[in-house]
Amino acid sequence: MNGMASDHNTSSQEEYLPHYLQKEDPFASKLSREADIIAGFYLTVIGILSTLGNGYVIFMSSKRKKKLRPAEIMTVNLAVCDLGISVVGKPFSIISFFSHRWMFGWMGCRWYGWAGFFFGCGSLITMTAVSLDRYLKICHLSYGTWLKRHHAFICLAVIWAYATFWATVPFAGVGSYAPEPFGTSCTLDWWLAQASVAGQAFILSILFFCLLFPTAVIVFSYVKIILKVKSSTKEVAHYDTRIQNSHILEMKLTKVAMLICAGFLIAWIPYAVVSVWSAFGQPDSVPIQFSVVPTLLAKSAAMYNPIIYQVIDCKFACCRSGGLKTLQKKSSLKKSR
């Protein structure tokens, strides 16, 4: 009986055909022309704002590149990832939505899927590194003071290597990139999990190493930070002004990093849920009109980070002005003495 059941499962997996093999033209849009035009305008606005905002962040950071702290270097790397998504990826999907079909064939589809996964994975791993940096700075001061600028650059090399590895693995024959069910965009081939056990193993590996594990590290880091802050607020009050100002600066940077991570996860989690359902749920059970909404929401993640970076700059300016005032008061007291 077990042999018959396994034979049935194997045959059902072999009989399964993903949506892009069921029709002659997998790149024809399955949405109405009006819906495609609305999506095209939406992505155009998102792309312009994201390009201008992240480009401005990188330009302003380049002016003070020698003064950037490790956490600021990481947030600049996040801006680079967001700019990469906007410049490399969004023009493909914008043209395709306005054309009512994917215009760039299978090669363009694989390139677009690779670029989206590469920069998206780079963004999430960068935020994981930022959360760990905040965790060490707040919860383990001895390690936090040990982290210097060259450690940040080593971390950047690890981040880019990690993203390159996981984005390129599908080209080694273990996975693939394929058109979305609505036809005018491409992504990781989540539907491989419906076809074979090897496909399931590949998708589970991607989910763990590129979503679940980084998210768990982020949540762990910020939960520990919140608990530490609640217990140490009174202790910091007894330190001198310089240590208090440094602590305030670190906490403000931590709060903004939390906002960035929360915004990214809010934008990407609906897409992840739909992707997992497509991989392990009933075949073709996700309605096409429903699948396009999480995709468009995920593409907005690169737009609002520059706004949060401006909050960082404003708060840093406030802290620096406050620090300057205290130093000026100290120097005037010394002169008067």
For the stretch 37-61, pLDDT in tens is 999 999 999 999 999 989 988 888 8
CA distance linking residue 36 with residue 99, whole number of Å: 8
Domain assignment present for residue 292? The answer is yes
For the stretch 141-152, pLDDT in tens is 766 666 678 888
CB contact set of 25 (below 8 Å; sequence gap of 6+): 101
Residue 330 token pair: 């100290």
For the stretch 255-279, pLDDT in tens is 777 888 888 888 888 998 998 888 8
Planar angle of CA 64, 66, 72, nearest 5 degrees: 70
Among candidates 24, 12, 16, 20, which has minimal Cα distance to 189?
20
Domain assignment present for residue 48? The answer is yes
Domain assignment present for residue 68? The answer is yes
State the pairing for strand pair 186-188/177-179.
antiparallel
For the purposes of burial, counting CB atoms within 10 Å of the CB of 133, is it exposed (0-12), middle (13-18) or buried (19 or more)? buried
Total tally of structural domains belonging to the chain: 1
For the purposes of burial, counting CB atoms within 10 Å of the CB of 167, is it exposed (0-12), middle (13-18) or buried (19 or more)? buried
Tokens 């809010």 sit on residue: 266
Domain assignment present for residue 10? The answer is no
Q: Which amino acid is at 44?
A: T
Domain assignment present for residue 2? The answer is no
| Residue 119 belongs to domain with CATH number | 1.20.1070.10
pLDDT band at 309; cut points 50, 70, 90: low
pTM of the model: 0.82
CB contact set of 40 (below 8 Å; sequence gap of 6+): 94, 97, 98
Domain assignment present for residue 337? The answer is no
Domain assignment present for residue 165? The answer is yes
Among candidates 122, 65, 123, 121, which has minimal Cα distance to 257?
123
Average pLDDT over every residue of 303-327: 55
Beta-bridge partner residues of 28: 101
Among 63-67, 179-183, 248-252, the minimum mean pLDDT is found in: 248-252
Domain of residue 154, residue span? 33-310
Domain assignment present for residue 239? The answer is yes
Average pLDDT over every residue of 150-162: 92
Contact assessment for residue 309 and residue 57, using Cβ atoms and an 8 Å cutoff? yes
The CA-based diameter of the chain, rounded to the nearest angstrom, is: 95
255 vs 325, higher pLDDT: 255
